Structures are given as C-alpha cells and as structure tokens.
C-alpha cells in the first residue's frame, strides 16, 4: 500500500498553502505499517485536515485505526445523552441525528437542541482541561441535502493578525464550557448534574503546534470569557477573532460523500456542521484521539 497526499485546494496556494489534503492509496481497514502511520501524521501536521474517500469501516475498524494515532479520548461529560439512550458502542461518539432506534430526533428533543451547538464554530473538546488532538469522522449515511462540514485554518488566521493584535492576545487565557456554547444558542435547560459536568476550563488563546512550531488561535464557541477581562469586552474580542478566523480564504468546506473519512487536528482548526434535512438520517460516527497536555493552568475549582 502506497499512501500519498495532495492538497485539496491548490487554487488557494497563495493565501493558505497547506490546508486540507486528500489522501490516496489508503485502505484504513488494512494493517498499517509504522511508515504508513508516519505518513498520515506528517500529513496531519502539514494539512491539519485529511480526507480519505471510500473507507468502508465498521465501528471496530474505526476504533482500531484511531488507536494507531493515539489513545481514545474518554467521551464522558461531552453530551447530555444518557448511557441507556446511547446508540453506539463505547468509544464511538454519535454525531448523527438519530435516536437509539435509528429514527431522527423529534424537533423538540433536547438532545437535538444540544447537538445544534455543533453548528457553531468550535474545536472539539476545548471544554476539557486536556483538549482533544484529532477527531476522526466517518460518513455512514450522508445527508440528502446540506450537512457540509466546514473547517477553518487557525494557523492562517493567526498569521494574518497584525503585530498589535498578536501582542494583545499572546498570553490570554479563555474560559471554555459547553454551558457557553449552548447558552449562546438559547439552550439553557440543563440539570444540576449537567451543569456540574460542564464546569469551565482554561485554555490559552494562542497555542503552538508541538511538531511544526506554528502558532495558531485556539478559538471555539465554547469560550465564555477571558480570564481577568470583563465578560462583554471578552466576548467582543472573541467574536471579532472568530469572524476574522472564519473568513472564506481560511475555510475548506467538505461536501460529504458516502464512506468519506475525515481527520482533523483540533489544535490547529475550528469546524462547524451546516444545516441539513433533519427528517432524513445523517449517520456520522466520530472517534477522538485524546490530547496529551493542558494549554493552561486550570482554575482552583476545576
């Protein structure tokens, strides 16, 4: 098996030279050599998003491949779905619109309300003290209409800032929580236990990639404030930065095909899903590679 990677958007070479690559020659069900894994990891460092076509993975195969890239993240505390409502096996994150019986959620189902938060720009698990490294998403049943996933390059967004703004944000630390992203959608009907599980964590606003040394903006709609700032002034700055970081030149929109498999680096990107026809099943299954370090010292109470 010979794996190669081409940039998806060669037309964007001027503005963002290395964002989103398409991988050729890989069948992720097959045993992968150390060299294969190294090629994929180098591709992730360079492109931050990798697209694999025609990957007919079972859940077990997806988990086995994910483990080649690192430890699985513990999914606890990331959703409001109860254990006995869960559709998929442990280790799989369900980002479909389906209940346990495979039926699309009712309009007013609070799990649907909660999942609507995925339409906001975010970095997966930025609300965890140790945020996620990679997310891996397998398209088992694609939406009949809409449902693209858009990715924004947080390295390019950082590079495009002027010196004055870089100096302002260099050492800032933000508070991230699912309470903030869901609250900004107007979804606030959470139990005491859910609120306790979504306690805010601290993350640096500027982070440095451990391999490439490139700096990037660690933005997410999970941000509610900046430590030491007044909330309105913090939200004003964060809103401004998210607007800057998601301008079209920094964005790759993935149009899903059946059996696509996409990996992204949450340390270097944000993403969001777009609207789709929710009366039809959209079965997307994620696995997550855990991060290995916190970006900031956590608040005393965390």
The residues binding Fe ion (CB under 5 A) are 124
Closest residue by beta carbon to Fe ion: 124
- Secondary structure of 58-71 in the HEC alphabet? CHHHHHHHHHHHCC
- For Fe ion, the closer CB: 5 or 95: 95
Give me the least distance between CB of 255 and Fe ion, in Å please: 17
Task: Please name the residues in contact with 219: beta carbons below 8 A apart, sequence gap of 6 or more.
Answer: 121, 123, 154, 157, 205, 238, 241, 242, 245, 270
Q: Which helix (H) or strand (E) holds 294?
A: none
Distance, C-alpha 10 to centroid of its chain: 23
- For Fe ion, the closer CB: 18 or 124: 124
Give me the least distance between CB of 112 and Fe ion, in Å please: 16
Give me the least distance between CB of 93 and Fe ion, in Å please: 9
Give me the least distance between CB of 173 and Fe ion, in Å please: 22
Give me the least distance between CB of 91 and Fe ion, in Å please: 17
Instruction: Say how far apart CA 260 and CA 55 lie, in whole Å.
Output: 6
- For Fe ion, the closer CB: 39 or 177: 177
- For Fe ion, the closer CB: 124 or 283: 124
85: its two tokens? 């409502």
End-to-end CA distance of the chain: 46
Give me the least distance between CB of 48 and Fe ion, in Å please: 14
Q: Is residue 35 left, alpha or beta, with left meaning phi > 0 and alpha meaning psi from -120 to 50? A: alpha
> Is there a contact between 10 and 26 (Cβ–Cβ < 8 Å)?
no
- For Fe ion, the closer CB: 32 or 174: 174
User: HSE-up of 87 (CA within 13 Å, CB side)?
Assistant: 18
> Is there a contact between 49 and 150 (Cβ–Cβ < 8 Å)?
no
- For Fe ion, the closer CB: 124 or 265: 124
- For Fe ion, the closer CB: 124 or 175: 124
Give me the least distance between CB of 206 and Fe ion, in Å please: 21
DSSP letter assigned to residue 99: -
Nearest to 167 by CA among 157, 154, 158: 158
Give me the least distance between CB of 137 and Fe ion, in Å please: 8
Instruction: Say how far apart CA 41 and CA 12 lie, in whole Å.
Output: 22
- For Fe ion, the closer CB: 137 or 161: 137
Q: Which helix (H) or strand (E) holds 298?
A: none
């Amino acid at each position: 098996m010979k794996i190669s990677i081409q940039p998806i958007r060669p037309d964007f070479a001027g503005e963002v030279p290395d964002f989103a690559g398409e991988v050729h020659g890989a069948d992720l069900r097959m045993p992968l050599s150390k060299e294969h894994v190294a090629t994929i990891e180098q591709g992730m460092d360079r492109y931050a998003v990798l697209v694999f076509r025609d990957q007919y993975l079972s859940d077990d195969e997806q988990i086995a491949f994910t483990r080649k890239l690192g430890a699985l993240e513990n999914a606890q505390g990331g959703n409001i779905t109860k254990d006995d409502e869960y559709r998929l096996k442990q280790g799989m994150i369900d980002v479909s619109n389906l209940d346990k019986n495979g039926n699309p959620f009712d309009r007013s189902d609070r799990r649907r309300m909660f999942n609507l938060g995925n339409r906001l720009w975010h970095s997966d698990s930025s609300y965890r003290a140790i945020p996620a490294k990679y997310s891996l998403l397998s398209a088992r049943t694609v939406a009949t209409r809409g449902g693209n996933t858009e990715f924004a390059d947080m390295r390019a967004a950082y590079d495009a800032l002027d010196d004055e703004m870089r100096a302002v944000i260099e050492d800032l630390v933000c508070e991230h929580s699912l309470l903030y992203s869901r609250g900004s959608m107007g979804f606030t009907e959470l139990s005491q236990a859910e609120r306790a599980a979504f306690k805010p964590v601290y993350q640096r606003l500027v982070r440095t990639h451990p391999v490439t040394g490139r700096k990037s903006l660690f933005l997410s709609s999970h941000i509610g404030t900046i430590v030491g700032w007044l909330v309105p002034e913090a939200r004003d700055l964060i809103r401004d930065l998210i607007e800057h970081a998601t301008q079209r030149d920094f964005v790759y929109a993935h149009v899903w095909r059946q059996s696509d498999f996409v990996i992204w680096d949450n340390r270097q990107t944000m993403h969001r899903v777009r609207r789709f026809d929710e009366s039809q099943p959209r079965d997307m299954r994620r696995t997550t590679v855990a991060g290995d370090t916190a970006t900031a010292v956590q608040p005393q109470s965390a």
